[in-house]
Amino acid sequence: MLEEITNQLRTHREVMEIVERELAPRVAVFAGMLIDAFRAGKKLLVMGNGGSAADAQHFAAEIVGRFKMERRGLPAIALTTDTSILTAIGNDYGFDAVFRRQVEALADEGDVVVGISTSGSSKNVNLALDLANERGCLTVGLLGRDGGTIKDLVDLELTVPTLDTPRVQEGHITLIHIVCDLVEKGLFP
Ligand SMILES: O=C(CO)[C@@H](O)[C@H](O)[C@H](O)[C@H](O)COP(=O)(O)O
Ligand SMILES: [Zn+2]
């Protein structure tokens, strides 16, 4: 069992090294997008399924509440939290529509809309990002594997390039925390 634990921790470190080598400049671009959007009075919308739903909520909580700094709250909404909205849309229009309909209702031009998907291909995330593009939002994909179908439709993709879903998720939450740190420091120097 100890060997298994050690192997998993080693893989985690290897994935983090790839993230550092390949994604650091894009993390800066992502943070810059959010800083500009918040300065312009725009908001963040963020979504994902399963563990990525938890990441979406975690991200919104850091932005609306605080990451490390005492500062005013910033506007962010996780599209994964309201069970009445999710069940109504899912029941009436199908699960593929659960995020798209919320983008239709909530997204304004210039908002930053983030989709988190370890496969890069979840249809409900894909459809919502399509509409966000049409709306003139800035779209970002936090993705895994080869980036899937979402990779080519977003303005900015950050793909953690491994097939190992939990390791992708660990990459995503690390990137999210770094972005939150950069946003706070950028907006409240
Ligand atoms: O957390 C995990 C696996 O670590 C799961 O809950 C996982 O998030 C779910 O299977 C998701 O439905 C996967 O969707 P996606 O990341 O491919 O968009
Ligand atoms: Zn997980």
d(CA 27, CA 19): 10
| Encoded tokens for 148 | 């899937």
Asked whether 44 and 37 are in contact (CB, 8 A), the reply is: yes
Kindly report the CATH number assigned to the domain that includes residue 149.
Answer: 3.40.50.10490
Pocket test of ligand 1: the residue of 118, 157, 158, 168 to mutate, having most ligand atoms within 8 Å of its CB, is 118
Reported in sequence order, the residue ranges of 62-102 that DSSP labels E, i.e. its strands, are: 76-78
Which stretches of the chain drop beneath a pLDDT of 70? Answer: none
Residue 80, pLDDT score:
98
What would the two tokens of residue 92 be? Answer: 């009436």
Taking CA atoms, 101 is separated from 67, 79, 95, in Å, by 29, 10, 10
- Its domain, for residue 103, covers 2-187
In this prediction, residue 142 carries a pLDDT of 98
Nearest alpha carbon to residue 166 among 61, 15, 63:
15
pLDDT confidence of residue 137: 98
pLDDT of residue 158: 98
pLDDT the model gives residue 189: 92
Tell me, what's the pLDDT at 57?
98
CA 100, CA 79: separation in Å to the nearest integer?
Answer: 10
Distance separating alpha carbons of residues 42 and 85, to the nearest angstrom: 23
Tell me how far apart the alpha carbons of residues 91 and 73 are, in angstroms, rounded to a whole number.
Answer: 33
CA of 119 to the centre of ligand 1 (A): 8
Residue 167's Cβ-count burial label (10 Å; 0-12, 13-18, 19+) is: buried
Pocket flag, ligand 1, residue 124 (CB < 6 Å): no
The total number of structural domains in the chain stands at 1
Which pLDDT score is estimated for 103? 98
Spatial distance between the Cα atoms of 28 and 60, rounded to a whole number of angstroms: 18
Asked if residue 172 belongs to a known ligand binding site, the reply is: no
State the pLDDT at residue 178.
Answer: 98
d(C-alpha 185, C-alpha 165), whole Å: 31
Q: Say what the pLDDT of residue 18 is.
A: 96
pLDDT of 31 reads 98
Tens of pLDDT, residue by residue over 97-122, are 999 999 999 999 999 999 999 999 99
ipTM value, please give it: 0.98
Residue 135: C-alpha distances to residues 111, 112, 115, 125, 140 (Å): 9, 11, 15, 15, 14
Which residue's CA is the closest to the ligand 1 atom numbered 6?
Answer: 50
The DSSP bridge partners found for residue 143 are 117, 159
